[in-house]
Amino acid sequence: MMRSLYTAASGMKTQQMNVDTISNNLANVNTTGYKKERLEFKSLLYESMAKAGNDGQGNGKPVNLQVGHGVKPVGTVRSYTIGTIQKTDNPLDLAITGDGFFVVKDQSDEQVYTKDGSFKIALVDDRQMLITSEGYQVQDVNDEPIYFDSNIDIKKVNISSDGSFSYVTNNNEVIAMDTKIKVVQFRNVNGLEALGNNLLRATSSSGDPISEQDDEDLIKSQIVQGSLEGSNVQVVEEMVNLIVAQRAYEVSSKAIQTSDDMLSQANNLKR
């Protein structure tokens, strides 16, 4: 059986996954805080038919004779460049400019991380709690939920660039609140595991989260109230990548067709 059939098939399978990745980027072009992905490839094993070097009899060969066995996907890498900051004028919409992530607690009480700052308010025990659209609790610097008293008008809550909360009374007096939203960074953001719903989970590859409030050496992120960070997907760039992936898929399928024609000709030699 011709080696090229399996080599070209590996190319088709890989480009199919590449198209899946690009399609996911395009599908999330309007998703708040979404970071585009890129598929990475590596070549498969090589078969050495002749090696470069001296053969022991004084005959030197300057180059190798090797044939590859195709390609495989090895990982998806996210680009964490900042997306467009879109003004919403909603006081509970927060955008992060920098490397930081918001910390939320999911339904299993596990801390997960997000760039999506479209937060909401839920009434819990006559108090207002800051949550995500899925109802997950937003965490403060003490890893506790963020509450507001029921008499506080959310429209008058101010959130500074470092995440500190305050509110304006009816007498236009600014009252500082003993609350600060938690923002963390990671040594290796590409090690984070995507969970869906704009959430990420820390792994051994990403390392433990580092609180910006506790580490003075970190370059601090800035929080922008009344705005959201849009997706960093560039539609034109993804469309070009889609065309390239489609052409690569077609070339691999053409290689299979050519191999099939060669096998057919070989089988017909006796006729």
**Segment 158-198, tens digit of pLDDT:** 999 999 999 888 888 888 888 999 999 999 999 999 999 99
Structure tokens at 235: 């539609």
Residues of the chain under the 50 pLDDT cut: none
How does pLDDT run across 89-102, given as a tens digit for each residue?
A: 999 999 999 999 99
- Token pair for residue 60? 């030197």
Name the residue among 135, 171, 167 with its Cα closest to residue 151. Answer: 167
Q: Provide the pLDDT for residue 270.
A: 66
What pLDDT was estimated at residue 48?
A: 79
218, two tokens: 């970190």
Domain boundaries defined on the chain: 3-80+233-267, 85-229
**pLDDT of 65:** 81
pLDDT at 57: 66
Phi first, then psi: give them for residue 194, nearest 5 degrees: -75, 135
